[in-house]
């Protein structure tokens, strides 16, 4: 059994700033320590500054708590680092708006570590209608269960920086936050994925919902899901794409024509001037606010889309508000009324619809019965409150909201 090693340089009980003559608040000094190995018994990490070494795994039946205001720093020179919650493990990381929990990397270089990876026991439907799959994070973990209300813990006011490590594409790659079969009993609120080298947030099936998300400066998709994820209570999602980025939302269901779909309200997808996409692969254009493929679907409302313009360099790419890649998705999901985009405000995006296949033409009339496409000038998009949780190096991430 591996062990967890804690090198505490300063005890958690050290206090300063209090005298017998006044009522000044007690200031708690941060602990200094290391988090490494497999965590096999319940543990609380007191407020402090920690070094993360290796792929740290929280075992089944174990609860790990990280106190508000803590900072956990990986170092890519040490190899692959990440924080993994295995199935039936519990992570409680509840920061506050002014005392967030920050997981970062020493060099501040995108793609330097694996971010937070969480496994639950909720259902998935993947390729060929299978109900289990192997993870694409290199851990080769099986995921997919039968408990829709399963809980993997609580993440509130947590920021992940410079993650999205890609070692082998589609076989060993990481995001800022990766949620495998995570259940609806899990709390995900006020989370930031900042300048990663892959997706900001990715859901691999499951039933969990997420509120108040910021995906800022991530190189692939801001929000991505597959394996028939069906979270129903998602709200206030903000993506700001800059320098290099692909889709605002990549929506797929591994070819399954599901009777259900996820729901997201209050969405802002913005693409900064000069942002370029990765080189297009195959038939995928990779420059749209929404892309639907492999029978991906969803109900989206109160949406702001801005800045998805055509790209001329380094390659010529047509950008748009909504892309549907394949004929099955068009027939089953668009014409079937299972893609709903209502109360949509679109600016600085000349092309509204893009057909990924020549066998159909996507337009407003496609969204039958006619109530599933709703352009407007009054949509407000995401509503988020500023604070230290959304401020990095003095920059307010919500300035472009």
- Whether residue 265 has pLDDT greater than 70: yes
Report the distance separating Cα 163 and Cα 165, nearest Å: 6
Close Cβ partners of 358 (under 8 Å, ≥ 6 residues apart): none
Is the distance from CB of 299 to CB of 263 less than 8 angstroms? yes
- Whether residue 140 has pLDDT greater than 60: yes
pLDDT in tens, 323-333: 999 999 999 99
Range in 104-113, 243-252, 274-283, 362-371 with the lowest mean pLDDT: 274-283
pLDDT in tens, 74-86: 999 999 999 999 9
User: Which pLDDT belongs to residue 17?
Assistant: 42
The model's pTM:
0.92
Report the distance separating Cα 246 and Cα 248, nearest Å: 7
- Whether residue 274 has pLDDT greater than 60: yes
User: Which pLDDT belongs to residue 143?
Assistant: 98
User: Which pLDDT belongs to residue 19?
Assistant: 41
The burial class, CB within 10 Å (0-12 / 13-18 / 19+), for 34 is: middle
pLDDT confidence band for 171 (50 / 70 / 90): low
Report the distance separating Cα 301 and Cα 37, nearest Å: 43
pLDDT in tens, 180-217: 999 999 999 999 999 999 999 999 999 999 999 999 99
Q: To 5 degrees, how large is the angle CA 299–CA 304–CA 307?
A: 125
User: Which pLDDT belongs to residue 320?
Assistant: 94
**Average pLDDT of the residues in 308-320:** 88
- Taking CA atoms, 397 is separated from 77, 191, 348, 384, 400, in Å, by 28, 12, 21, 10, 7
Report the distance separating Cα 244 and Cα 271, nearest Å: 10
- Whether residue 3 has pLDDT greater than 50: no
User: Which pLDDT belongs to residue 314?
Assistant: 82
Q: What is the mean pLDDT of the chain?
A: 92
């Amino acid at each position: 059994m591996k062990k967890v090693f804690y090198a505490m340089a300063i005890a958690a009980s050290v206090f300063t700033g209090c005298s017998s003559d006044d009522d000044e608040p007690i200031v708690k000094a941060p602990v200094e320590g290391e988090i490494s190995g497999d965590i096999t018994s319940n543990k609380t990490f007191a407020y402090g500054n920690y070094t993360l070494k290796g792929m740290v795994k929280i075992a089944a039946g174990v609860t790990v708590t990280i106190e508000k205001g803590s900072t956990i720093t990986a170092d890519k020179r040490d190899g692959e680092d990440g924080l993994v919650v295995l199935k039936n493990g519990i992570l409680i990381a509840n920061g506050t708006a002014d005392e967030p929990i920050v997981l970062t990397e020493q060099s501040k270089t995108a793609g330097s570590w694996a971010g937070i990876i969480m496994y639950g026991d909720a259902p998935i439907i993947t390729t060929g209608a299978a109900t289990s799959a192997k993870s694409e994070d290199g851990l080769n973990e099986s995921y997919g269960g039968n408990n829709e209300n399963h809980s993997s813990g609580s993440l509130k006011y947590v920021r992940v920086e410079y993650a999205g490590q890609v070692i082998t594409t589609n076989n060993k790659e990481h995001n800022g936050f990766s949620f495998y079969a995570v259940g609806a009993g899990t709390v995900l609120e006020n989370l930031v994925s900042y300048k990663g080298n892959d997706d900001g947030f990715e859901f691999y099936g499951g039933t969990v919902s997420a509120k108040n998300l910021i995906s800022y400066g991530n190189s692939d998709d801001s929000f991505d899901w597959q394996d028939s994820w069906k979270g129903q209570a998602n709200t206030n999602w903000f993506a700001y794409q800059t320098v290099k980025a692909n889709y605002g939302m990549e929506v797929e269901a591994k070819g399954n024509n599901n009777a259900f779909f996820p729901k997201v309200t209050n969405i802002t997808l913005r693409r900064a001037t000069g942002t370029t996409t990765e080189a297009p692969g195959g038939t995928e254009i990779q420059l749209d606010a929404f892309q639907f493929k492999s029978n991906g679907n969803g109900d989206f409302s109160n949406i702001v889309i801005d800045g998805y313009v055509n790209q001329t360099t380094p390659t010529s790419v047509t950008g748009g508000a909504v892309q549907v890649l394949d004929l099955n998705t068009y027939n089953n999901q668009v014409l079937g009324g299972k893609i709903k985009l209502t109360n949509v405000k679109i600016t600085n995006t000349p092309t509204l619809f893009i057909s990924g296949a020549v066998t159909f033409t996507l337009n407003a009339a496609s969204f039958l019965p006619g109530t599933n496409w709703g352009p407007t000038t009054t949509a407000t998009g995401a509503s988020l409150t500023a604070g230290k949780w959304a401020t990095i190096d003095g920059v307010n991430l919500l300035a472009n909201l």
